[in-house]
Amino acid sequence: MKHPVGITANNIPVYVDLTRSQAAVHIAQQPHLLGLVKEALGRLTISDSTINVECDMGRTIGYSLVVKTTDKDAILYARLLHDDIYTRFVKNGKPVKTSYLTISLQKEDSKAYILADTWIGRSNPPRPGSPHETAESRPYWADHAFVFDNQPIQVRTVIRQCPY
């Protein structure tokens, strides 16, 4: 079911599927994302078929769960529930305040866009091993990780050795 999110600066409506999209997962965890996305959309003029944009909201809007890591950090890898790809986690990391909101849009037709994903924090490349992996994925995730905060993981997949 499509739920209206907002309208861009060039009057294009944006919708989100609140049951089957990746955006729905993040919105369920942080419902205030819908309001932030609506605010950011009002500043965007879009026309491409795929849009990935970082929006500086000009104020602290929350905490980024992706942080830079060092050799001193306790790192683990695990698969999240219902996920086939390993995610890099830092056990002793702290979320970082941020003013950035990342928005990913897909053109639905000539008259509307779908909010594919959104999160608080800067844009980052896809995780290694994902179908969307890029040349930047492995170098970026070699020194960045998600702060481990009791995310639902597949317990039997927890490892310390990098799987990629």
pLDDT at residue number 150: 82
Residue 77 belongs to some domain of the structure: yes
Does 55 reside within a domain? yes
Q: Is the dihedral of CA 118, 119, 120, 126 positive or negative?
A: negative
Per-residue model confidence as pLDDT tens digits over 60-74? 999 999 999 999 999
145 located within any domain: yes
For residue 116, give its domain range.
Answer: 2-157
Domain count, the chain: 1
Report residues of the chain scoring pLDDT below 50.
Answer: none
From start to end of the chain, where are the E strands? 2-7, 13-17, 50-56, 62-64, 66-68, 75-79, 86-90, 96-98, 100-109, 112-120, 144-147
Answer yes or no: is 112 within a domain.
Answer: yes
pLDDT for 121 equals 97
Q: What is the pTM of this model?
A: 0.89
Whether 164 is covered by a domain: the verdict is no
- Assigned domain for 162 exists: no
Q: What is the pLDDT of residue 110?
A: 75
For the stretch 95-128, what's the b/e string if a residue is b when 16 or more beta carbons lie within 10 angstroms of its beta carbon? beebebbbbbbebeeeeebbbbbbbbbeebbebb
User: Could you report how far apart the first and last alpha carbons of the chain are, in Å?
Assistant: 36
In this structure, are residues 58 and 133 in contact, taking their beta carbons and an 8 Å threshold? no
Quick one: pLDDT at residue 1? Answer: 78
- pLDDT attached to residue 159: 97
pLDDT of residue 60: 98
- Whether residue 163 is contained in a domain is answered as no
146 Cβ contact list (under 8 Å, min separation 6): 65, 66, 87, 88, 89, 90
Q: 54-66: string of b/e by CB count within 10 Å (b at 16+)?
A: ebebeeebbebbb
